Structure 1
Amino acid sequence: MNISLTPEQEKFIDLQIKSGGYSSADEVIAQALQLLQESYRNSVEQRLEELQQKIASATEQITKGQLTDGEIVFARIQEKIRLLSEAQPET
């Protein structure tokens, strides 16, 4: 696989090698990809945790009987849309 780097990226890689932190450009790129994978994994895990918290909260509300009928919710949304469209100036 061939990868094109910007001059700034090449300078950064060279600096990492010259500073002794890495012995080759391959090592720098491998470390960068590992960090990217960890970041992605952490992001996915965080979103999953947030979703689980929302589900738990919703389940608790259902258990307590804190529900709103779906038709009422849609009626409220439609009313908000109607009000917003009336407030928009015609072009």
Structure 2
Amino acid sequence: MSINVNLTPLLEEMVRQKVKSGLYTSVSEVVREALRLMEEQDTLRKAKVDQLRQDINAGLESGTATIWNAEEVKRAVRKKRVNLQG
């Protein structure tokens, strides 16, 4: 299968440099590697979004939110720390 792609001058130069470096043997090889990396990133992005959705659902299912006072929490922790040390 043959596909023609128009690249910006910057991208075209990047591809040429990759081939010139010897790391890749052809323009096609550079493009295939770029597409493999894109697919890998898409897979990672999907996994992150799926995890975020699970975390959101877990939060929603965890019950009603309660109001708390930061100063009260600090006092309780300090008191517990003193009791553990004392």
Equivalent residue, structure 1, for 2:78 = none
Corresponding residue number in structure 1 for 2:23:
21
Matched, 1:38 2:40: yes
Pair 1:47 & 2:49 matched = yes
Question: 1-side partners of 2:28 and 2:4: how far apart?
Answer: 12
TM-score (norm 2): 0.68
List runs of 5+ in structure 1 lacking aligned partners: 68-91
The structure whose Rg is larger is: 2
RMSD: 1.2
**Higher relative contact order by CA 8 Å / sep ≥ 6: 1 or 2?**
2
Displacement of 1:11 in angstroms is 0.8
The amino acid across from 1:11 in the alignment is E
Counterpart position of 2:81: none
Q: Detail structure 1 runs of 4+ shifted over 6 Å in the superposition.
A: none
What is the TM-score of this pair, normalised by structure 1? 0.64
Which residue matches 2:4?
2
Identity %: 29
